[in-house]
């Protein structure tokens, strides 16, 4: 299996698992914050909704224009706006968008060759420096989604622990 095909498989699998988890959660858990500075499940979903198309576009940009910098930091306005006022968002809308963006991302990444994934470009984030486009796919899409699935599951476990009396 090619690197891009494996990335597509993992993106789709993670998105399916994330959306299945979110769909079965009690409504009050979607907006519950485990701690004041920890994102709710809806915050996480809205973040995913924003970053899938963002990091897909950054990957494609790095492949087509390796002379240009790619990426952002945690203070990026679009990133911050995605998790602002998430209580006003509906799960159905966010789910629909994640599914659509994951499909678009999968199609774009599936078209990349191993040579494309090896193209290097400099990140705006000094933490990363020069990285191949495959790094963006692997770390900022695939692993990023997998980490957020774990975060959603931890939130559910914490919620049940805090709200179930014996």
The predicted pLDDT at position 1 comes to: 82
The predicted pLDDT at position 165 comes to: 55
For the chain, 166 residues long, give each residue's pLDDT as a single digit of tens. 899 999 999 999 999 999 999 999 999 999 999 999 999 999 999 999 999 999 999 999 999 999 999 998 777 888 888 889 999 999 999 999 999 999 999 999 999 999 999 999 999 998 999 999 999 999 999 999 999 999 999 999 999 888 875 4
The predicted pLDDT at position 13 comes to: 97
Task: Give the closest residue to 83 by CA, choosing from 143, 38, 27.
Answer: 38
Cα–Cα distances in angstroms (integers) from residue 114 to residues 7, 60, 64, 73, 164, in the given order = 12, 13, 14, 27, 49
| Contact call for residues 66 and 123 (beta carbons, < 8 A) | no
- Give the chain's domains with CATH numbers: 3-163 (1.20.120.450)
Six token digits for residue 41: 């499940």
The predicted pLDDT at position 78 comes to: 85
Cα–Cα distances in angstroms (integers) from residue 23 to residues 37, 38, 88, in the given order = 24, 20, 17
């Amino acid at each position: 299996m090619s690197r891009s095909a494996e990335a597509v498989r993992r993106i789709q699998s993670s998105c399916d698992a994330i959306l299945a988890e979110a769909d079965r959660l009690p409504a009050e858990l979607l907006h519950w914050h485990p701690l004041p500075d920890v994102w709710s499940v809806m915050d996480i979903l809205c973040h995913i909704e924003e970053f899938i198309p963002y990091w897909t576009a950054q990957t494609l940009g790095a492949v087509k224009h390796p002379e240009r910098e790619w990426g952002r930091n945690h203070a990026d306005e679009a990133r911050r706006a995605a998790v602002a006022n998430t209580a006003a968002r509906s799960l159905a809308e966010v789910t629909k968008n994640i599914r659509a963006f994951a499909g678009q991302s999968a199609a774009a990444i599936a078209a990349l060759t191993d040579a494309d994934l090896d193209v290097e470009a400099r990140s705006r984030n000094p933490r990363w420096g020069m990285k191949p486009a495959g790094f963006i796919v692997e770390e900022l899409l695939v692993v990023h989604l997998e980490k957020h699935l774990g975060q959603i599951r931890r939130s559910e476990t914490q919620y049940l622990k805090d709200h179930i009396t014996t």
